[in-house]
Structure 1
Amino acid sequence: MGIIKNTKYFFLLTCVSLLAACSSSPPRNPENLCEIFQEKRDWYTAAKDMEDKWGTPLHVPMAMMYQESSFKHDAAPPMEYFLFIPTGRASSAYGYSQAKTLTWQDYTRETGNGWASRDDFADAIDFMGWFTTKTHKINGVSKWDAYRQYLNYHEGWGGYRKGSYNKKPWLIKVSKKVDQRAKQYAQQLKRCQDDLDSGWLWRTFFS
């Protein structure tokens, strides 16, 4: 009897672990926003909540997130080495949004979201909504402007004001790529949003 009980417990634990792994794994087709949200309906709920809360159109942070982490929940800069000895990572950036530790602490303090985690999609996209909102307030950049929002995201608000990106042609190229993806995501979303919204409303009122 004890063996059966232990086997059931092991099976349940395995199922939970597999579900957790699936929920945090990158989407199968990150190039298509409709397919991302159809595969991960909870991501759409979180993205809609962010959009309603901060007023940032969800296709903008989704394009930025793709560039930052390729939707990997535990993404981090590569480890640096000295004579084969690991000396640490290039920065403290981590998670879906690649938020740095100090900026993340500012976010949790200002929003009161002390339990937020950088490897949780809902928390990560809420952080990006907070950041894009502050970018709008501090530097006057539209929340719909993925190109300049990404420049702020990469260089920081002070760096953007100083025009630090002008000395980084590679960053300007990447920011244009983010802007193009955001526009592509926006077009894709138009084709599936009604279906996504119907599911979102059902879960909101009946779950």
Structure 2
Amino acid sequence: MKLITLRLYTVLLGLFFLLSGCATYVPQNSDNLCDIFWGETDWYEAAREAQHRWGTPIYVMMAIMHQESRFIADAQPKRDWFLGIIPLPRKSSAYGYAQAQDPAWEEYLKQTGNAGADRDDFEDAIDFIGWYTDGSQKRLKLSKWDAFGQYLAYHEGRGGYARKTFNQKPWLKKVALKVKQRAARYNLQLKRCQKQLDDDVDSWF
């Protein structure tokens, strides 16, 4: 009887750790970049690597991600329902932290060779945003520090930005302004905690 109980306890303990490992981190306070990174320093390490690779400031990438998904790993556009019971196709293929659509994601995979990347993986998603903003800088001459312009290009696509489609969408300009303002706040916040974050991340190596 004791042996059976011990085995049952072992199985339950293993299941607990398995489920815990599957848990996805969601920031409790997404308005403070330091709180976000203190809650998951692996996120800071991934964001720092994306900044080093692509040159886009961490606070700009994180402000774009906040607007796109609120840091929800499996975020997707809402779908309509026919008669309230039959699900209709989603209006967009956007998915994950970065809300990357299928064509842009496929281009990212091809250009970077990151074949195993997933849109619901933070490290891959932040790298995607870095890659996209780098491409917008090269094609559209948008500064990587220009959160307003970069978000417009991110939302409309580089072709749409070049055609200035955002001029027909006053609401989108308001959203881009919110991204710009959030990026500015994130920048100030990060300056207060970045050294400690660097020390903590680097201490593991």
Note whether the superposition's TM-score is higher than 0.5. Answer: yes
1:67 aligned partner: 67
1:9 aligned partner: 11
Which letter maps to 1:108?
L
What pairs up with 1:111-130 in 2 under 5 angstroms?
Answer: 111-130=112-131
SS of 1:142's equivalent?
A: coil
Unaligned runs of 5+ in 1: none
Q: Count matched residues.
A: 202
Which letter maps to 1:16?
L
**In the TM superposition, what is the alpha-carbon distance from 1:83 to its structure 2 partner?**
2.5
**In the TM superposition, what is the alpha-carbon distance from 1:86 to its structure 2 partner?**
1.1
Q: Are 1:159 and 2:157 an aligned pair?
A: no
Moved over 3 A (4+): none
Which letter maps to 1:81?
W
Mapped to 2, the partners of 1:144 and 1:114 lie a distance apart of: 28
The one-character-per-residue Cα deviations of 1:62-107 (angstroms, maximum 9, x if unpaired) are 0010010000001000112223321111111010000001111110
Mapped to 1, the partners of 2:171 and 2:11 lie a distance apart of: 52
1:40 aligned partner: 40
Which letter maps to 2:36?
I
Mapped to 1, the partners of 2:53 and 2:12 lie a distance apart of: 41
The one-character-per-residue Cα deviations of 1:120-177 (angstroms, maximum 9, x if unpaired) are 0000000001000000011010111000000000000000000000000000000000
Mapped to 2, the partners of 1:6 and 1:114 lie a distance apart of: 40
Mapped to 2, the partners of 1:153 and 1:5 lie a distance apart of: 53
Mapped to 2, the partners of 1:6 and 1:55 lie a distance apart of: 51
Mapped to 2, the partners of 1:195 and 1:16 lie a distance apart of: 31
Cα RMSD, aligned residues only:
1.1
The one-character-per-residue Cα deviations of 1:27-80 (angstroms, maximum 9, x if unpaired) are 010000011111110000000010111111110010010010000001000112
Mapped to 2, the partners of 1:165 and 1:20 lie a distance apart of: 39
**In the TM superposition, what is the alpha-carbon distance from 1:3 to its structure 2 partner?**
4.4
Mapped to 2, the partners of 1:157 and 1:98 lie a distance apart of: 16
Unaligned runs of 5+ in 2: none
Mapped to 2, the partners of 1:109 and 1:7 lie a distance apart of: 46
2:28 aligned partner: 28
**In the TM superposition, what is the alpha-carbon distance from 1:6 to its structure 2 partner?**
3.6
Mapped to 1, the partners of 2:12 and 2:119 lie a distance apart of: 29
Which letter maps to 1:70?
R
Which letter maps to 2:169?
K
2:52 aligned partner: 52
Which letter maps to 1:112?
G
**In the TM superposition, what is the alpha-carbon distance from 1:7 to its structure 2 partner?**
2.7
CA contact (8 A) 2:25 2:40 kept: no
Which letter maps to 2:91?
A
Which letter maps to 2:39?
E
1:182 aligned partner: 183
1:103 aligned partner: 104
TM-score, length-scaled by structure 2 = 0.95
